[in-house]
Structure formats: structure tokens, C-alpha cells
Amino acid sequence: MVSNSLKYDQPMTEPSRITIANSSSIIGFEKSGGGDWPVWDRYLTIENKRAYHIGNVCGTCAFFFVRLEGAKRSISATAIAERLNTGTDITDPTFTSILSQILPTGAYYVNFPTVLPRLIAPGHPDDYFVQEQVALWGIDPLPHDPRVTYYRSHSLALAEHRQLFEFVIPMFPLTWLDQERLTHYEGEIAHGGQPTAFTLSVLDIKQPAVWNGDPKITEHWCLAHYLLDGHHKIYAAAQQNAPLNLVSFLAVDESLASEEEIKSALAALTP
């Protein structure tokens, strides 16, 4: 376990804002410049290696994520994994405090969504980057390739000109999954179990630079859950078209959204 300090700003009965200070987590966020911009590209890192390029700071550029060489492991302690496996008591503040010890310093909204994951390969007809993104931004020059098979969940209208898209993004490829563990979770789910996975999440709000009042032009609210623990669980759930619980820590300062927008998105996903 790493050492940090944690402060709760409100009870854990609903999405709650927490602050983690003085963390020594192996997970981090990094930014770098591009062109004339001192800060442009954003990255999720593991052990100081870039695991994902998670987009840029431009609100009028398209949303994207790209798997990099540093994305090659899940992040969990044994005690955390055992507790997640049960799918119970995930709102216990003591447990949430334990989970937070592996997160980097920052402010988060901790929430407990349920997703119905669909496995999406790059270029698949249901690939966001082939369908919804191309419909809004066009092909310039080709649909984006995230270099990873990922999961989609909710797609819903928030308000006029606003649509929310939810993604769950793994930390290693499907070929690394262990068949014995998959069989275990498939059996649990088949008997009514609903296991829990653990994610570090970011909300990016994007829209084209040219608006012109076109009613077909809309904002894309893209909620990306980076999967730290639960790779076998989510694959098993997707194979059986079954729901999966998440413990999601949504990073406030790393999102391209205001706190009010973050709370609005979470409220839309809360039954």
C-alpha cells in the first residue's frame, strides 16, 4: 500500500467528492506541449511510463484515446481484488479509502455506476470513432484507431445538442486474459453474480469549432473509464450480455469539464 491522506467532502450515499493528497501511487497524469502550446497532450502513466494518450486540452478537437507501450498490467492489491470479487459493500467508506490509496494526488468524484459492456474492436460498425465521431467531425483523413479493443456502455441524450458516450478501456489486450479466470467469472455471472471492477475515469466535453446553429451539431460528453482492476470480469460480462458494477474515481482536474458538468453527467447515469 502507498501512503497518502484522504478527505471526504460529503457522505458516500451518492457520487461524492474526495481529495487525495501526498499520494505515492505508481499511477499518474502527465501533460506535454505541442506546437506553440506549452500544455497540449495528456497522458495516463504507470510507473512513469505512458500507458495511454488520453487526448489534448482542445475543446474543439475530437475526443480520443490511444493505447501506448506502458499499458500492460492491472493495478490492484490482493485485499482490494478479493473485496471487488464479491461485488458487495462497495460503498463502505473504509473500503473506498483503501481503494483511493492506489490513485494519484487530486480531487475525484467517486461513484458506483453499473455498465452493460459491449466489446468493440477498432473499425467495428459500432466503433464510436467510425460512427458517432465521423458523423459529427467527418473523416479527417481516416477514423481514429485507438490501438486497443475497448468496451462501450451508455449512449444517451443529456439535453439539446448534448450526447453522453461511456467507454471502459482496458490496461492490456484481450490475448493476455487467462481462460481459467474467465471461466470462473462466466460461471459466477451465469448464476446471478454481478462482480465489480475498479476504474480511474475522465470526462471530456468536445464539440466542433464551427457551430453555426446547425441542429445536427452537438457536444460529445465522453466519459472514459480506464480499467485498473477487473479485466476478466468485464470480458465475461460482455460475453454474456450481463451488467457489471464499477467503482469509478473520476479525476476532476484531469477532465475537460467543469465540476457542474461532471455532476450533471453522473446524475444522468444514476438510476
Any bridge partners for residue 114, and if so which?
Answer: 245
Q: How far is CA 173 from the centre of its chain?
A: 16
Peptide bond connecting 141 to the previous residue in cis, omega within 30 degrees of 0: yes
Is the CB of residue 42 less than 8 Å from the CB of residue 29?
Answer: yes
C-alpha to C-alpha distance for 171 and 182, rounded to whole angstroms = 16
Beta strands in the chain (DSSP E): 5-8, 16-21, 27-34, 37-46, 49-56, 66-67, 106-111, 114-115, 118-120, 150-159, 162-169, 196-206, 219-229, 244-251
Measured distance CA(16)–CA(185) in Å, rounded? 29
CA atoms of 7 and 2, how far apart (whole Å): 16
Q: What does the alpha-carbon distance between residue 197 and residue 84 come to, in Å, rounded to a whole number?
A: 7
pLDDT tens readout for residues 22-72: 788 899 999 999 778 899 999 999 999 999 999 999 999 999 999 999 999
Q: How far apart are CA 192 and CA 226, in angstroms?
A: 26
Residues 77, 82: Cα–Cα separation, whole Å: 9
Residue 10 per-residue DSSP state: S
Is there a contact between 164 and 158 (Cβ–Cβ < 8 Å)?
Answer: yes
For residues 102, 103, 109 and 110, what is the CA-based torsion angle, rounded to 10 degrees? Answer: -20
Intervals of the chain under pLDDT 50: 1-4, 8, 10-13
C-alpha 256/C-alpha 159 separation (Å) is: 18
Give φ, ψ of 203 to 5 degrees.
-110, 125
Answer whether 144's CB lies under 8 Å from 64's CB. yes
Per DSSP bridges, beta strands 27-34 and 37-46 are antiparallel
> What nine digits make up the cell of 112?
458506483
The amino acid present at 61, given as its one-letter code, is C
Pairing mode of beta strands 5-8, 106-111: unpaired
Q: How many CB atoms within 10 Å of residue 187?
A: 11
DSSP state of 141: S
> What is the model's pLDDT at position 215?
61
Three cell numbers written together for 234: 468485464
pTM given for the model: 0.90
